[in-house]
Amino acid sequence: MKLFTSIGRGWMDGLLAFHDSLAVLGETVCETLALPLRPGRFRGRDFLVAFQRAAFDGLPICTGIGFLLGLILAFESAAALRTFGVESYVADLLAIGLFRELGPLVTAIVLAGRSGSAFAAEIGTMKVDEELDALSTMGLPPVRFLVLPRTLAATFAMPILTIFVELAGLVGGAIVLKMMDIPGAVYWGNVVRTADTFMITFGLAKAAFFGMLVGFVGCCAGMRTRTTADGVGVAATSAVVGGIVSVAVSDGVIAVVCHFWGV
């Protein structure tokens, strides 16, 4: 009986969390659509603070990871392509992989670990301290003052971080091919030839979508924080796990749709 009770409680908790997330999503969409009509109600200062923490404070770690990613991909792919004497095509592989898939995906995972957990911890602490109840009592919607600025900040920060990750990865690949006596002009020429405007735009659009997912999931986890001793820690963990899972699932769906559409 305890087994069935725990399974049922888990399902009910999941359904309640899904219901709460849908409610927050609907209110966030309404507030976003009403933003051009009532721009004075938007918390611009909170948006700038969240944007700075998500974008500029995350540049060093994202650039370092992108550089190492380019090095690893170049070494592994060059070892296989050297058998056929076509090491120069490593540039094509890096350009397609970074601009189309790995750049947005890796950046979103880093953003989920840094900013998604921070959003959940901040809002969760406010809920534990009953500050969310105070906002609701004063007639101030918590979604407008807390969720919307952070979600928009993550959405706009992701393309910037993705650009630095991709450029750092290309520099790492260039260093590897330079060690293999591949001229830099050949490497960068292949990158420019492969990375067309559509590929770069598609990758940045996908990065913005991933940023919106990470920011929204992190804020939702903070809104669902339990008022217990471990509530904030559980919310931060849920934000990271939920953000990574949602990004991975959405990336798979986008890949399947692009395959059938021939994009």
pLDDT, tens digit, 9 for 90 and up, residues 128-164: 888 887 877 777 788 888 888 899 999 999 999 999 9
Cβ partners under 8 Å of residue 195, min gap 6: 95, 96, 99
Contact 212, 112 (CB under 8 A): no
Alpha-carbon distance of 141 to 135, in angstroms, equals 7
Selection from 190, 161, 166, 31 nearest residue 100 by Cα? 166
The tens digit of pLDDT for each residue in 80-132 reads 777 777 777 888 889 988 998 889 999 999 999 988 899 998 888 888 888 88
In this structure, are residues 108 and 247 in contact, taking their beta carbons and an 8 Å threshold?
yes
Give the pLDDT mean for 196-202: 89
Average pLDDT, the chain: 85
Q: What is the pLDDT of residue 105?
A: 93
Token couple for 254: 């986008």
- How confident is residue 76, by pLDDT bands cut at 50, 70 and 90? confident
pTM of the predicted structure, to 2 decimals: 0.89
The helix or strand, by DSSP H or E, that contains position 172, with its residue range, turns out to be helix 148-179
